[in-house]
Chains A and B, each alone.
Chain A
């Protein structure tokens, strides 16, 4: 097990490094190359990037352009930029915004809890509701319960959650003159206000992973229910309810663990969309705003943070799966 953990940890570290290279290439090499294609000399990265960062009226003044770029550390050669960025990262320095000049870390301290709360609560909520529901549809296969729950799950995976959100907000205001509360307060400042803002986005984000869980749990549960040990349990006289809860569900839930890794990118996408929709001060809104401003230091550090979250979850999922199922460790 230890060697598996070490192997997997090294793989994760290398993959995170690869993500830093990739995002750096995208923002510092590919992006500016395309941009410069139109109105600037392709070879001159500095010139093309200043097109984004410097207000138009200052573009004519080379001194202003130079100052803005120097402030962001964007006037150095590319390799040096990468080395200083990754060097700073290793020391825990994520850089500063070019626009507001606030350190990314200062923003993150306040925004990370919001996004993690949204994602985590949505994940737990969807798992608590959807996993038993999925098991239920398998037990009651081809009954009206099965069809209606599956119908909901299929519809929820087909109709985008942001459309459902728009629908909810529109009809709530039309019928009950109710609008979602968007006066955000942190939990430690005003828990009640915090809850009244967060509940709707959490429920909406939970819809998509919920439908994934229902369908997957149903499939694995159907498979488990056909296994020999279930027949053995039944034939030795175990009460049906116990067969389902103790024997079938516990085994059917093992493969569902792998879904957590799959669902994290969905949750991040949900964060990005709904933090903007409900104007919540989380990481999703932060990066969307940063992309709008082409705030390179913020974008590159935030993509890295998201990639870190996904790869750490994948790492933990793999470990727990290998812990549950010893066959994985030795392959």
Chain B
């Protein structure tokens, strides 16, 4: 493990009603790492991230961020965190300028500084023309860019990116990937969850695979390959989640589509 631990999860369990979502997660993350956090739908990825951000409560176990237990009621650790949520939900009656200035200020930036920085970052994404337009008129990709900007405005040390590339075009994906690498070089820690295995494989220093609320694999891509699993991350993912029925499922699926009467 390199550098000081930024984040430490100890035996985290969480359930919604009767449904146990996390079954004892243990994880330690050091400075300057890019963690690829992967797992099938419903494995508990977003829940873990939301717990660490304090968006949901009621877990058991211990979460330490920047060396402090987040349950002790001290909110200040959030100042050093940036977050891009999985669903691009934002108060979209506001213009990009208004929303970004607002979030920047909430993280303690001065207003002028927040607005200036937001504009410059929008400019880098080629969105300066839309700076004063309402977010309702933004496309999925544009919203995603606004969210990415809002997560880094305050120069955080720890970033939680939940599916940050969704809706972005190929060129923007390249840019964001490059940005992530640069941020890690600067000593920032990036906690990155995604379903796009190619990207995770390429950018992550370390990959954590979550299945049914448990960490089943943890290590660099090379380490995962050495554990006797071969091929791409996608193939490793399929193996480790015990999934090999794609061909049968696809065949049956199309059969059902073809069944029944034909609509004109």
A binds B: no
